[in-house]
Amino acid sequence: MANLRDIKRRITSVHSTRQITRTMEMVATAKIKKAQERIESARPYAMSMMEVLGNVARNAKGAEHPLLLEHEERRRVAVIAVTGDRGLAGAFNSNILRMTERFIREQLDAGVEVDLLAIGKKAGGYFRYRGIEPVAAYRDISGNPTFADAKSIAAHVIPAYAGGNLDEVVIMFNRFKNVAEQVPEQYKLLPIRATMLDEAAKDSDVTAEYVFEPDAESVLEHLLPTYVETLIYRALMESAASEHGARRKAMKSATDNATDMIGTLTRSYNRARQAAITTEIAEIVGGAAALED
């Protein structure tokens, strides 16, 4: 009979687990929506910024800016790893961590020094455990990334790149393709792709003769760092939305698995119960037969 009670206990436990995963799934679903709205509301700024950038670029042709300049030698690079603060989101964090770790190894093997900026508790913990101390670690961002967060991260890399202490800056984050799909991506933030300016300039209104104050070059000098900040901001927001998407998927399959498991367990419970009853009847019948003799 102990077996029956064991099965019953397991069913109850899987039941309560399923309740938790189902709730987490629903919470994540609600949060995806909010995170998506946030990405949407950042679009007007990004678009206006590209418009201004295009106009400026057209009038500051051939302008040399330290952020556009590619460094000939690669001695030190920075990598920004964007993860979440919590797990239970499938491969969301581990994809980024693995990608970042591989990147760091490759750089170290090539004799290039690496500065790590760990965004999210997961990245900080993972790399510290492996003896790679981040130059800067952020946490509690993934819930609601703000532009101020992005600015603060950018402040670690932009002056360093402009000053020649860094030769490349890449960011690793989960791009939010749609609710069901998140793609880990490695994006080079610095140097800024020179073609980006040409593309932006192509879309600008050629007929307008702009006046620049103080002049196109100085405006460009102000704009480029802001452009990098908006890229980081965007990556943070996409990562936040992806985290909820990944968690929802992970929790959905956990809920489905729990349901399957409860089904299987219930079947074995019933079978065990039936077996017990059959044994009992056989015993009674056997006992009665023994009495008759």
Partner 1 sequence: MGRTLLCEIVTPERIIYTSEVKMVVAPTIDGEVGILPLHAPLVSALKPGEIRVRYGDDEVEWFAISGGYIQVHMDKVIILADHAAIASQIDVERARHALELAEKRMAELPKDAEAEISACEQQLKWCEIQVEVAKKA
CB of 64 to partner 1, least distance (A): 19
In angstroms, the Cα distances linking 214 to 74, 109, 276 are 34, 46, 91
Report the residue from 13, 33, 34, 45 that binds partner 1 according to the rule CB under 8 A: 45
Q: Is the Cα torsion angle 89, 91, 92, 97 positive or negative in sign? A: positive
- Regarding 46 and contact with partner 1 (CB under 8 A), the answer is yes
CB of 76 to partner 1, least distance (A): 16
H or E element in which residue 248 lies:
helix 216-292
CB of 50 to partner 1, least distance (A): 11
**Contact 221/162 with Cβ under 8 angstroms?**
no
Instruction: Decide whether 4 or 196 has the Cβ nearer to partner 1.
Output: 196
Report d(CA 171, CA 206) in Å as an integer. Answer: 34
Report d(CA 22, CA 248) in Å as an integer. Answer: 9
Report the residue from 133, 205, 280, 283 that binds partner 1 according to the rule CB under 8 A: 205
- Strand pairing of 113-119 and 136-138? parallel
List binders of partner 1 among 99-128 (CB under 8 A).
none
202 three-class SS: helix
Report d(CA 205, CA 185) in Å as an integer. Answer: 33
| Whether residue 225 has a cis bond before it, omega within 30° of 0 | no
Report the residue from 52, 171, 235, 250 that binds partner 1 according to the rule CB under 8 A: 52
Report the residue from 12, 13, 48, 259 that binds partner 1 according to the rule CB under 8 A: 48
CB of 191 to partner 1, least distance (A): 20
Query: By rule CB under 8 A, what string of x and - marks binding of each residue 137-176 to partner 1?
Result: ---------xxx-xxx--xx--x-----------------
Residues interacting with partner 1, by CB under 8 A?
38, 41-42, 44-46, 48-49, 51-52, 55-56, 146-148, 150-152, 155-156, 159, 205, 208-214, 216, 218-219, 222-223, 226, 229-230, 233
